[in-house]
Structure 1
Amino acid sequence: MKNISVTAFIHILFSVAIAILLATFLLFLSWDKDRQKIEEFKRYQLISITFLSNLRLNPTEEELKQLYKKLHVVPVSKEEIELIKNEIRNNGKTIFSGGSSAGRVRVFNINDTHYIYVQRMSYNLMLRDNKPKDYKFEIAMATGVFLILLLLLLYLAVLKKLYPLKKLHREIQRFAQGDMNIRIHYEYDDEIGKIAKSFDDAIRHINELSNSKNLFMRNMMHELKTPITKGRIVAEMLEDEGTKKILVRAFERMNELISELAEIERVTTQRFEPNMEYVTLEEVLEKSQDMLMAEKSCVKMEIRNRAITTDINFMALAIKNLLDNGIKYGEDKCVLLRSNEHFIEVVSRGEVLHHPLGYYTEPFSQEEKRSSGFGLGLYIVNSILMKLGYKLGYRYEEGMNIFMIEPDMKRRFG
């Protein structure tokens, strides 16, 4: 029940309520039908006993009229008796029969009209049952239908009240998928309206922060490019090779930082859509090596070429960052790149990571003793792989740090 949606819970709740109401109503109808039969039997039994006992006393016409009035019956005229007898013979149904040594009483049903035939020696009376109609059944039917309709109306009213929640959910999903310009409007000031307004305010605030961040990043990268370029040119003119080498490396690291920040801004945005194409693994790895600012002899390869569907530029960038990390932080400054049908692995010799992998996939995270790098490499790798439908894994075996790129089946099929 914890994972069931509110709408499904309401469907179940009202379905059970309507089912219980219908069952109760049907049980009442069955009980009322039995009650009517019992009351009918008791009534005709009373009529039988009353008439037979009174007819023994040879009542006057006035006494018979009083008896008719008391028992709610009326005598049938002589003209109608023969017609009624014919109807009884052809279509009549006996619903009561009783009597004693004093006489006999039978009740016939003809087209929902009850006729009482009393026989006693010199008396042969044909009476029509004139009991006032009992509207209990009709009242019960009307009440039952009213309650069911009322429950259905309440059910529809609750669903209508909850409908804005579905709309709000769809709009939140659109926002989560990258539609930053969405606006949420709800005209009523109830709980749903307050939630919608709060979320709309949050969207506005997030957009303002995002625009400020993007403006800051672009201005910063733009402003840094010019002095870095000028500094690099001046450094190349120095005659002191030691100082020149230090300055050139410093400017190169500044350029790397700007490039990594630009990559982060592009990859982590919700609007980023990879350009998926059918390529071979060899093409991706060749592009990765071209992007790598290191000697190719530092990278050993044991690959099994195969076709994959990916964005070649960003997959190559992810593998390049893994290779770069292995070269920078490996004990022998070399890495092994290997693959099989399912994995791509980057292997380098070194100490085991001191923290879980999730620690290093956060921005600006690195081992405390490292002074080089900005802690963005694995964050960029993980962000790219998530966009491409892969996941980053890690294990340590026999003094080797092994980073794995493997398909994320949950994202692809779940």
Structure 2
Amino acid sequence: MTIRKRLFISFSLILLIVAFIIGVFFYTIYNLNSINSQQNHRYDQLIRVEKLKEFNNSYSWIVFNIITDFDKIEIVNERIKKADKLFENLSKQKNEIIDNSESEKEKKNLILIFRDFEIMQKLIKEKLYNLVLNKSGDFTVFNVSFEQINVDTQKLLEEEIKYLQDKLNQTQNKREDFLDTIKLELVVLFIVLFLLSFVISSKIITEIKEKLHRLNQGVLQLFKNDEETIKVNIGENNELREITKNLNSYLEKQSDIIHSREELLRNISHELKTPIAKGKFMVQKIEKKDNSQIIKDINTIFYDIEKLTNKLLEREKLNFAVLKMKKFKSSSLILESLSKLSIEDESKVTVNIKDDFNIDGDFYYLTIVLKNLIDNAMKYAKEFPIVIESKNDQVYIKNIADELSNDLIYYIQPFTREPNQQQGHGLGLNIVSKILELHKFDLKYKYKNSYNIFIVSFK
């Protein structure tokens, strides 16, 4: 399993625990809201029942006032009306109070309380009022009956209040117990999360250290035994194996470069054999005959050798080139490239600057690019002038000549040229390609209207 996959699984597991903790948090809020709602409900019910005690006391005072002033019918009627109003208020609250009861026991108790209130109302409106009208003045039997029902109601109310108070205390205790449990659960979850993170990270770090140690041993073995690749078992399906694989690819590439250079040296020796052999032949002819043409030919041969050597050195330097980047105009690059060629007949070149755009690159190396392309255009042109054009972040070098017989990729290889081509060594376009590759610019070729067109794109 890759380290990335292990980290992903570990992170998912930790994320799951965090999600669980968040879930516990919201569960806590939900339950606390539920408990608070229940607590508020019981508190409101307790207030309602407390008011019923006030009604009970009010009935007692009404009876007391009626008996005290039984001979004053106006006061009696006023007290009877007050009793009716109290009973009307009780009737309005009856359903609400009973419906808000939480248990059958509480409901039955409340029904009994309201039944007693109805009895009290009946005693006041009928028996007590009749006694007042008869003006007998004997309220003993009434007092006993009313006192009994009033005391019974008071007891029922106190029982209900005690019941509700106990329920309130239970809710408060439940709330506190719930909070204590949640606190403990959260502490445990955080400890588990910490331990899990520590164990997972320790295991992954240990595994990475062990694999890095193996990789280091493989690198040391590489230098010690002059191996071409790192030979070490990092294990399957992990990132360090990918790193090792990439390192080995790099080492193999370097090995290929070395082999390529060896091949290049062999090609160089092959290319130098011809001018050297010609030089030897000419020297032998000089020994037999003094001829200025032969001396001129020898100079040409050795100039050719010098030119080839310079190009090979120039190509080799590109393998270690460090670009000195700066900004300059395309016109400056074209003019500098032309000045390096020292063209005697300026009518052979037409320069057309349609767009003098900015170029960000190494001025020296890019001058070599244009110089080589212009030099080739001059060498192989069937008609003059050749055309150099600048527009749309591109420089075009055009000449009237035969179309190339192969794709461009063929000619950017070292020592490749047209089969019937005698001039040059096949290194010019290779150098051009290498410099543009360093800049990440492009070289393109097309043939149109008898023109070979080489395009350098600076985009």
Point out the structure with the larger strand share. Answer: 1
Q: Report the Cα distance in structure 1 between the residues aligned to 2:174 and 2:252, rounded to whole angstroms.
A: 81
Matched, 1:137 2:182: yes
- Tell me which residue corresponds to 2:448: 397
Letter in 2 for 1:114: N
The reply on whether 1:314 has 2:313 as its aligned counterpart is no
Residue 443 of structure 2 contacts residue 457 of structure 2 at CA under 8 Å; is this kept in 1? yes
Cross-structure match for 2:376: 325
Unaligned runs of 5+ in 2: 43-100, 110-154, 213-228
Secondary structure (helix, strand or coil) at the match of 2:160 reads strand
Contact preservation (8 Å) 1:284, 1:312: yes
Whether contact under 8 Å (1:228, 1:254) holds in the other structure is: yes
- State the one-letter code of the partner of 2:23: T
Q: Equivalent residue for 2:349? A: 300
Determine if the alignment matches structure 1 residue 385 to structure 2 residue 436.
Answer: yes
**Residue 338 of structure 1 pairs with residue 389 of structure 2:** yes
- Indicate conservation of the 8 Å contact 2:330/2:390, yes or no: no
Distance change in 2, residues 1:395/1:220 (3 Å): closer
Alpha carbons 2:349, 2:384 under 8 Å: kept: no
Q: 1:232 to 1:278 in 2, by over 3 A?
A: farther
2:169 pairs with 97, 114, 125, which one? Answer: 114
Query: What is the CA distance between 1:260 and its match in structure 2?
Result: 2.8
What's the offset of the Cα at 1:341? 7.6
The equivalences for 1:63-78 within 5 A come to: none
1:356/1:209 CA distance change after superposition, 3 Å: closer
1:67-106 Cα offsets, whole Å, 9 max, x none, are xxxxxxxxxxxxxxxxxxxxxxxxxxxxxxxx97893144
Stretch of structure 1 that moved more, 235-244 or 388-397:
235-244
Give the drift of 1:319.
1.3
- Give the aligned partner of residue 274 of structure 1: 323
TM-aligned CA distance change 1:213 to 1:153, over 3 Å: same
Which structure 1 residue ranges, 5 or more long, are not aligned? 53-98, 117-127, 168-183, 409-414
The whole-number CA distance in structure 1 between the counterparts of 2:347 and 2:295 is 25
- Give how far 1:336 is off: 2.2
Q: Which amino acid aligns with 1:406?
A: S
Shift of 1:347: 0.9
Output one character per residue of 1:159-198: Cα deviation in whole Å (capped at 9) or x when no partner.
868999xx9xxxxxxxxxxxxxxxx99x995544444445
Matched residues in 1 for 2:181 and 2:275: separation? 96
Deviations 1:7-44 (A, max 9, x none): 998999689646643443334334554776799999x9
**Residue in 1 that maps onto 2:27:** 28
Which of the pair is proportionally richer in helix? 2
The answer to whether the 8 A contact 2:403-2:452 is kept is: yes
Preserved CA contact (<8 Å) 1:115 1:129: yes
Contact 2:374 2:397 in 1 (8 A): yes
1:340-360 Cα shifts (integer Å, max 9, x gaps): 584332110134445554554
Structure 1 residues 250 and 228: alpha-carbon distance in aligned structure 2, compared to 1, 3 A threshold: closer
Alignment partners' CA distance in 1, 2:324 and 2:269 = 27
- 1:25 partner letter: V
| TM-score (norm: length of structure 2) | 0.49
Quick one: distance in 2 between partners of 1:272 and 1:231?
Answer: 35
Instruction: Give the corresponding residue for 1:76.
Output: none
The Cα shift of 1:383 comes to 1.9
- 1:261 paired residue number: 312
Q: CA deviation at 1:264?
A: 2.0
Over 3 Å counting, the alpha-carbon distance change for 1:16 and 1:250 in structure 2 is farther
- Aligned 1:123-202 pairs, distance under 5 A: 136-146=181-191, 148-149=193-194, 153=198, 189=234, 191-201=238-248
Partner secondary structure for residue 103 of structure 1: helix
Q: Deviations over 1:263-305 (max 9, x none)?
A: 22212x2x41134456676665455345448764574132449
Find the aligned partners of 1:10 and 1:331 in 2 and give their Cα distance.
70
Query: C-alpha displacement at 1:375, in angstroms?
Result: 3.8
- In structure 2, what is the Cα distance between the partners aligned to 1:361 and 1:242? 35
CA distance in 1, matches of 2:302, 2:378: 20
* SS of residue paired to 2:350: strand
What amino acid is aligned across from residue 314 of structure 1 in structure 2? Y
Aligned partner of 1:103 in structure 2 is: 159
Q: Which amino acid is the alignment partner of residue 169 of structure 2?
A: H
Q: Is the 8 A contact 1:345 1:404 kept in 2?
A: yes
TM-aligned CA deviation for residue 322 of structure 1: 0.6
CA distance in 2, matches of 1:131, 1:284: 84
Give the total of aligned pairs: 324
Quick one: structure 1 residues 313 and 235, their matched pair in 2 at CA, closer, same or farther if it must change by over 3 Å?
Answer: farther
User: Could you say which structure has the greater relative contact order, defined with CA pairs below 8 angstroms and 6 or more residues apart?
Assistant: 2
How far apart, in 2, do the equivalents of 1:210 and 1:276 lie? Answer: 26
SS in 1 for 2:323: coil
**What's the offset of the Cα at 1:320?**
1.8
Give the C-alpha shift of residue 326 in structure 1.
1.6
TM-score (norm: length of structure 1): 0.53
Q: For 2:411 and 2:19, locate their aligned partners in 1 and report how far apart those are by CA, in whole Å.
A: 58
